[in-house]
Amino acid sequence: MAVPSWLERLRAARKTALVQDGKRKIHYLFEDGKEMAEEYDMKTSQLMSRKWREKNTLGGSGKWQVEVGEPTSPLLGALESELIKESSSNPVFMRKDTLTSFQWRIRNLPYPKEVYSVSVEKEQRCCVIRTINKKYYKKFSIPDLDRYQLPLDTAALSFTHANNTLIITYQKPKEILAAEEQLQKELKKIKAANNGDGDCKTQ
């Protein structure tokens, strides 16, 4: 069965933990050199953010790619953002999970709920957002389902719209809920450095 393989990769990765600002930050270094940084809420064990980084062609560290959480702050490239600035009215796509579901929010979408359709494309292993007025189209995958090699389920997908934000929810399959529970137990065993010890490279 495929489920243990991703869990095994997580177990095999070199992990460091840091507790800071009510969050438990975990840094994973995989055998292939890839890095993953996650932040969990200490009280709820809720995943707040997940970022990935790979070595670039010259062997140096590449930029962090955000999978879950707020998109990277433009302050990181202050000079670049002065030159090219996205309009603040453009749709902003981000993932923000709950304990039982994967959730995406797209801000700055003013159209009423009936304008949107959200569907699962099983062959392409992705979800697609369309609007009747052809003003917005977005295709996105669910990396967690790919990593656990689980099929996409149309029945797990739902969406709502409020305050100019489209909220798409995909209920986590039981296999992922069980694996996440197991992982949480293991992460809690890692001895965490306190704020300022610098054991964990999360930036």
- The model's pLDDT over 136-164, given as tens digits with 9 standing for 90+, comes to 999 999 999 999 999 999 999 999 999 99
Average pLDDT over residues 94-119: 96
Side chain identity at residue 56, one-letter code: N
Residue with tokens 């689980």: 150
| CATH number for 138 | 2.60.40.790
Residue 60 lies in a domain: yes
The length of the chain is 203
Q: Is the pLDDT of residue 167 over 60?
A: yes
Q: What is the pLDDT of residue 104?
A: 97
Residue 35 lies in a domain: yes
Residue 202 lies in a domain: no
Residue 80 lies in a domain: no
Residue 54 · residue 33 · CB < 8 Å: yes
What is residue 134's DSSP assignment?
A: S
**Pairwise pLDDT comparison (178 vs 73), residue with the higher score:** 178
Which of helix, strand or coil describes residue 141?
Answer: coil
Can you give the pTM of this predicted structure? 0.83
Residue 1 lies in a domain: no
What is residue 165's DSSP assignment?
A: E
Q: What are the C-alpha distances in Å from 10 to residues 27, 161, 202?
A: 11, 35, 17
Domain total for the chain? 1
Which of helix, strand or coil describes residue 156?
Answer: helix
Q: Which domain holds residue 161?
A: 7-70+89-188
Residue 197 lies in a domain: no
Residue 193 lies in a domain: no
Q: What is the pLDDT of residue 188?
A: 86
Q: What is the pLDDT of residue 201?
A: 44
Structure confidence by residue, pLDDT tens digits, 13-48:
999 999 999 999 999 999 889 999 999 999 999 999
Residue 152 lies in a domain: yes
